[in-house]
Amino acid sequence: MMTKPVPIKVDVVSDVVCPWCYIGKRRLERAIALVPELDVSVRWHPFFLNPWVPREGISRDDYLTSKFGSVDAYQRIAQRVVDEAAGEGLVYRPESVRRQPNTIDCHRLILWADAIGRAAALKQRLMDLYFRDGGDLTDRDVLVRAAAECGLDAEETRRRLGSDEDVALVSQAAQQAADAGVSGVPTFVLADRYALSGAQPAEQLARALRQVAAEAAQAG
């Protein structure tokens, strides 16, 4: 008789403009593939990496100057992230990003996509647009098109984005994560028990998933 897979819940706190979250999502997917004996479910939770960025966004150069001192200062440290992304089969072109968005609308889209089981797909689409394609995530047309590509109705999404629907809900969720002590993302919370911060290697995440599953099995 086949053994029923052990269900393990993973909550991921991350932001779509965080390059390590981009990498961390891929590593989590690889980790899950390494533990086919487990039944892993993933939920995505919002985090504002740059809560000070206004809703309309700012120029990328202004952002890099504010956060790193200068554009050149960021370019000197960006290559490591570019290389790490490439190692996961991802493309990060920091020079193609021209605008730094506030991500509350992105998180609203992910929340709405979750209702149709497409949160992970839309999160990936938004991150690909930003890191790979230099897409402007402050542009409503860009957001609506991404949502439609992931199964949401374009006109309904445009209407919802034009309202304040779920702005408070997303903001509250992000604040709750910060209040719970999340300061670095991605943060992976396994089975409501263990938290791992940072873009952990896939093998390390897989070991953690197996450990949590073993403890759950022992607990009955």
Distance (Å, rounded) from C-alpha 6 to C-alpha 214?
A: 9
Residue 125 falls within a domain, yes or no?
yes
**Residue 146 · residue 122 · CB < 8 Å:** yes
Residue 151 falls within a domain, yes or no?
yes
Domain span at 35: 6-219
pLDDT grade for 3, boundaries at 50, 70 and 90 = low
Is residue 117 pLDDT above 60, yes or no?
A: yes
Contacts of 188 (CB under 8 A, 6+ apart): 10, 11, 12, 24, 28, 195, 196, 197, 200, 205, 208
pTM metric for this prediction: 0.96
Residue 49 falls within a domain, yes or no?
yes
Residue 1 falls within a domain, yes or no?
no
Averaged pLDDT, 146-171:
98
Domain at 66, CATH number: 3.40.30.10
**Helix (H) and strand (E) counts for the chain?**
9, 6
pLDDT grade for 220, boundaries at 50, 70 and 90 = low
Is residue 144 pLDDT above 60, yes or no?
A: yes
Task: Give residue-wise pLDDT tens across range 75-105.
Answer: 989 999 999 999 999 999 999 999 999 999 9
The amino acid occupying position 217 is: A
Task: Give residue-wise pLDDT tens across range 13-34.
Answer: 999 999 999 999 999 999 999 9
Total of domains in the chain? 1
pLDDT grade for 136, boundaries at 50, 70 and 90 = very high
